[in-house]
Structure 1
């Protein structure tokens, strides 16, 4: 939810929310077929969003109108998600993100100089 709020207040072309989405974004250009296999053909993308619990016949639905009391962000899988995601936090704090990148690059450069 923080990533959505950030994107509305700071117009940006792309924002990646979540570590899993970042991994998908890195693997997709390298092997689109692998991602298709994992997410579509193997069904991992759909299996992770479903439950084996049947829905009762008298359960409310929102086909014709919104369901009162169900206007919330959290859902059945909220307990499985992580509220604090460092990847999303860095996306929504660009100064910290670029600072972390700079520290990493300078640290690697310093280690390379020490190795010589």
Structure 2
């Protein structure tokens, strides 16, 4: 198997297009394209600058838009291929201290939905899917812009990067509209649909402490928001001791259809029971 690493700023559409052309010229047609690049900042909105919000949005949101456009322009002519967009539970339920990232993840969902309908309208055999992840043990918590004075951490429970990789591979090789990975993702999405105001208040109390450790942030701590951090890194962050190596929960659109069908049947059954016992007239 041949590989071709290409360093590219996904916020630059022309750079993404050039990278895609280079890859196809070297390795051949692109069958699967995964959009996963992101940037975030740990800070309340009052401490962020417009430039920082713009940059985080360009990398996280427009980076995926540029990837979708580059991939689709090539897959359309061949009428085949798969595009995987990597989302987050935070694309359904925002948290404090990561407003730019959450906003970008919400936007990715909106763009993906529009594009999916267009692909169906054009009767293309290009599959577009989205994988929504829980907290993952990656190095991002050591190099994200941080204005809180304490080191950042993922909200527990944490999962190893291999869990995300397996879910992305599944999405790329199975025709699923969406994949929710891990029970925390499922819980956050469904809970926000049921009681969003309650979740607002809960996160107002615990959202800060859940994303910060007690360790002080070093004055020279790196930030990759505008420039890459120098050095060699692997996929794992510093939370190997508590990160889960697997997740039994991978909730796809088929599971959700079954879930809501069973919920509706349960509600109808309960209503019928109450009527028969005279509790409801």
- For the superposition of Structure 1 and Structure 2, which TM-score range results when normalised by the shorter chain? 0.5 to 0.7
1:69-80 alignment to 2 at 5 Å?
69-70=232-233, 72-80=234-242
2-side partners of 1:11 and 1:37: how far apart? 37
Which blocks of at least 5 consecutive residues in structure 2 are unaligned? 1-163, 260-281
Q: Which residue of 1 aligns with 2:245?
A: 83
1:23 paired to 2:23: no
Q: Which structure shows the higher helix fraction?
A: 1
1:35 paired to 2:199: yes
Displacement of 1:3: 2.0
Match among 162, 170, 175 for residue 6 of structure 1: 170
Displacement of 1:9: 4.3
Q: What secondary structure sits across from 1:15 in the alignment?
A: strand
Q: What secondary structure sits across from 2:213 in the alignment?
A: coil
Root mean square deviation of aligned Cα: 2.8
Displacement of 1:8: 4.1
User: Could you give the per-residue CA deviations for residues 54-102 of structure 1, whole angstroms, max 9, x where no partner exists?
Assistant: 12223333244322223x33223343221111103xx47x7xx7xxx9x
Higher RCO structure (Cα 8 Å, ≥6 apart): 1
User: TM-score normalised to the size of structure 2?
Assistant: 0.27
Query: Per the alignment, do residues 49 and 73 of structure 1 end up closer, same or farther by CA in structure 2, a change over 3 Å counting?
Result: farther
Count how many residue pairs are aligned between Structure 1 and Structure 2: 90
1:52 paired to 2:175: no
Query: Per the alignment, do residues 58 and 15 of structure 1 end up closer, same or farther by CA in structure 2, a change over 3 Å counting?
Result: same
2-side partners of 1:24 and 1:64: how far apart? 30
Q: Which residue of 2 aligns with 1:104?
A: none
